[in-house]
């Protein structure tokens, strides 16, 4: 029984994660060009940035992809750090839509569940992809199929959780994990492993609904998943330029500060004999899936409200953490691309733009070398030979 439950859980996570990737890639191909235009025309309005981040992430169903896009624009020098910070704030709000969809899908009556109805869309989308002749129609078919598969994975995870809930040993073990820091750490590690906070949050929702964990435990797992979601951005940022690194650190600090604020507030509420679970159980009675999904949204919205006025201070802190470096302090020269890394390939329209920037940058280096060569021949001064060879 345990083996069956574990295999069903792994299958459910696999289907759910594949659905997220499928949904994200197809929605990206439909909306990336429009997002790029929105980024290019973006003003320095903080609220405008939050709006772009929230709507864009809800559209492409991936805060990771949105953050990588932002890092690319910052790296290309066409987006300022303050604007990038506000778009990342918005992305954290936009990513909560997946948890809300999962919560809706877990409502059911005596006849048929919403998850089963939505799951049927996987077949509809597959037929569209198979028989459509126009490329755009096939992409829409991919969106519909991905949306359906999202609920197929959700159903499988919920099924495995109900099997786990029948095992006294499992229930006893999970109910014994009441250390807040441990729950946060589990959320961070799980999200870092699957590289999707949506998967971990949805998993937490199914565990709460099946009674494997209580709402308070689910809340702290969800908080940890927000920190773990920064892994993709950190990898992408630290393989790019200085401002890209700073953007990745902004994303990390935003989530860390938000979690710290809520953990401290949780301790204060506990001192008064209440907690987040009590509050959300009161507001959304007899709907544990909605309680956790709404807490996830509440956490991100409140964190944005707190951090938005502090954006300039956050950027100053990040610039201290990731300071400017003199070229001479970088040690041995290592050839590298300045605008492209493997994570940019997840967003093809952006990757193409970055290739153009890379070609322009390379032409500037070539012109610099030509002038250096002319200078050395004319003056017979070869002090710049090392830099010349590095450029070459």
Q: Tell me if 155 is assigned to some domain.
A: yes
* Total domain count, the chain: 2
Q: What angle do CA 112, 205, 171 make, to 5 degrees?
A: 100
Any domain includes 370: yes
The answer on pLDDT for 43 being more than 60 is no
Q: Residue 240: what pLDDT?
A: 66
Question: Do 45 and 184 have their domain in common?
Answer: yes
**341 inside domain:** no
Interval 325-352 mean pLDDT: 64
* 51 touches 87 (CB < 8 A): no
Is 261 contained in some domain? yes
Residue 384 is given by DSSP the state: T
Q: Which of 16-20, 23-27, 241-245 has the lowest mean pLDDT?
A: 23-27
Cα–Cα distance measured from residue 340 to residue 350, given in angstroms and rounded to the nearest whole number? 10
pLDDT tops 70 at residue 388: yes
Q: Are residues 135 and 272 in the same domain?
A: yes
Contact of 161 with 207, CB cutoff 8 Å? yes
Helix (H, G, I), strand (E, B) or coil at 108: strand
- Are residues 90 and 10 located together in one domain of the fold? yes
61 backbone φψ class: left, alpha, beta (φ>0; ψ -120 to 50): left
Per-residue pLDDT averaged across 234-263, rounded? 84
Note the pLDDT of residue 328: 46
pLDDT at site 111: 47
DSSP for 228-273, please give it: HTTHHHHHHHTTS-HHHHHHHHHHHHHHHHHHHHHHHHHHHHHHTT
> What is d(CA 219, CA 186) in angstroms, rounded to the nearest whole number?
12
On the question of pLDDT at 344 being above 90, the answer is no
Out of 321, 337, 355, a domain closes at: 321
Structural domain contains residue 340? no
Spatial distance between the Cα atoms of 207 and 157, rounded to a whole number of angstroms: 9
Q: Give a yes or no: residue 338 inside a domain.
A: no
358 within some domain:
yes
State both tokens at 99.
Answer: 């948890």
Pick the more confident residue, 61 or 87: 87
Question: Helices 242-271 & 180-194, crossing angle to 10 degrees?
Answer: 150
Average pLDDT value for residue range 323-340? 64
Q: Which pLDDT score, from 0 to 100, does residue 329 have?
A: 47
Average pLDDT of span 204-226: 86
371 shares a domain with 232? no
Say yes or no: 360 and 292 in one domain: no
Q: Which domain holds residue 304?
A: 2-321
Last residue of a domain, one of 321, 339, 368: 321
What's the whole-number mean pLDDT along residues 77-98?
83
pLDDT of residue 304: 92
Q: What is the pLDDT of residue 347?
A: 62
* 273 plus 377 within the same structural domain: no
- Let me know whether 66 and 157 are in one domain: yes
363 and 264 within one domain: no
Whether residues 263 and 358 share a domain: the answer is no
What span, in angstroms and rounded, lies between the C-alpha atoms of 238 and 232? 10
Within a domain: residue 335?
no
For the residues 140-159, what does the mean pLDDT come to?
79
pLDDT beyond 90 at 134:
no
Note whether 11 and 135 are same-domain residues.
Answer: yes
**This prediction's pTM:** 0.72
Instruction: Give the pLDDT confidence score for residue 159 in this predicted structure.
Output: 73
Per-residue pLDDT at 78? 65
Query: Residues 183-206: what's their mean pLDDT?
Result: 82
Residue 113 bridge partners (DSSP): 108
29: its two tokens: 């191909």
Summary mean pLDDT of the chain = 79
In eight-state DSSP terms, residue 286 is: T
Mean pLDDT of 66-80: 73
**Do residues 235 and 372 both lie within one domain?**
no
Q: Of 12-26, 86-100, 147-161, 343-357, which one has max mean pLDDT?
A: 86-100
**Final residue in a domain of this structure, among 306, 321, 336:** 321
Tokens 């197929």 identify what position? 152
The verdict on 135 and 281 lying in the same domain is yes
Task: Write the pLDDT tens digit of every residue in 105-120.
Answer: 766 554 456 667 777 8
Give the span between the Cα atoms of 153 and 159, in whole angstroms: 10
DSSP-H helix ranges across the chain: 2-41, 46-60, 63-75, 81-94, 97-105, 114-119, 121-131, 135-164, 168-175, 180-194, 197-210, 215-228, 231-237, 242-271, 276-283, 288-307, 311-321, 348-379, 385-391
Distance (Å, whole) CA 2 – CA 163: 8
Long-range contacts, 340-345 (Cβ 8 Å, 24+)? 341/236, 341/239, 341/240, 342/239, 343/68, 343/71, 343/232, 343/235, 343/236, 343/239, 344/68, 344/72, 344/236
Number of Cβ within a 10 Å radius of residue 214: 16
């Amino acid at each position: 029984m345990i083996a069956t439950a574990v295999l069903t859980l792994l299958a459910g996570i696999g289907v759910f994660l594949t659905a997220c990737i499928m949904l994200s890639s197809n929605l990206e191909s439909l909306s990336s060009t429009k997002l790029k235009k929105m980024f290019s025309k973006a003003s320095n309005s903080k609220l405008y940035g939050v709006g772009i981040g929230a709507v864009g992430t809800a559209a492409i169903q991936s805060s990771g992809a949105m953050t990588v896009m932002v890092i690319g624009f910052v790296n290309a020098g066409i987006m300022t750090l303050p604007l990038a910070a506000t778009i990342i704030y918005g992305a954290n709000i936009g990513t909560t839509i997946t948890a809300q969809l999962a919560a809706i899908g877990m409502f059911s009556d005596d006849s048929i569940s919403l998850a089963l109805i939505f799951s049927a869309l996987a077949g509809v989308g597959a037929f569209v992809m198979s028989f459509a002749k126009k490329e755009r129609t096939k992409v829409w078919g991919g969106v519909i199929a991905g949306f359906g598969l999202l609920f197929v994975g959700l159903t499988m995870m919920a099924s495995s959780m109900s099997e786990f809930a029948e095992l006294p040993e499992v229930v006893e073990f999970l109910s014994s994990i009441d250390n807040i820091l441990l729950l946060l750490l589990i959320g961070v590690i799980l999200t870092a492993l699957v590289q999707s906070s949506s998967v971990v949050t949805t998993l937490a929702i199914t565990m709460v609904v099946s009674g494997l964990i209580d709402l308070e435990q689910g809340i702290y797992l969800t908080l940890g998943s927000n920190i773990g979601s920064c892994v993709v951005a950190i990898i992408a940022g630290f393989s790019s330029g200085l401002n890209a690194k700073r953007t990745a650190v902004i994303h990390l600090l935003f989530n860390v500060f938000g979690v710290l604020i809520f953990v401290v507030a949780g301790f204060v509420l506990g001192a008064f004999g209440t907690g987040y679970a009590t509050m959300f159980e009161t507001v959304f009675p007899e709907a544990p899936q909605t309680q956790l999904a709404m807490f996830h949204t509440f956490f991100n919205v409140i964190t944005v409200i707190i951090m938005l006025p502090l954006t300039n201070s956050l950027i100053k802190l990040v610039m201290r953490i990731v300071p400017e470096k003199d070229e001479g302090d970088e040690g041995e020269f290592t050839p590298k691309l300045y605008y492209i890394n493997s994570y940019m390939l997840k967003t093809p329209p952006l990757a193409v733009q970055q290739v153009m920037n890379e070609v322009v940058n390379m032409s500037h280096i070539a012109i610099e070398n030509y002038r250096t060569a002319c200078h050395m021949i004319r003056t017979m001064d070869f002090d710049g030979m090392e830099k010349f060879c590095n450029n070459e």
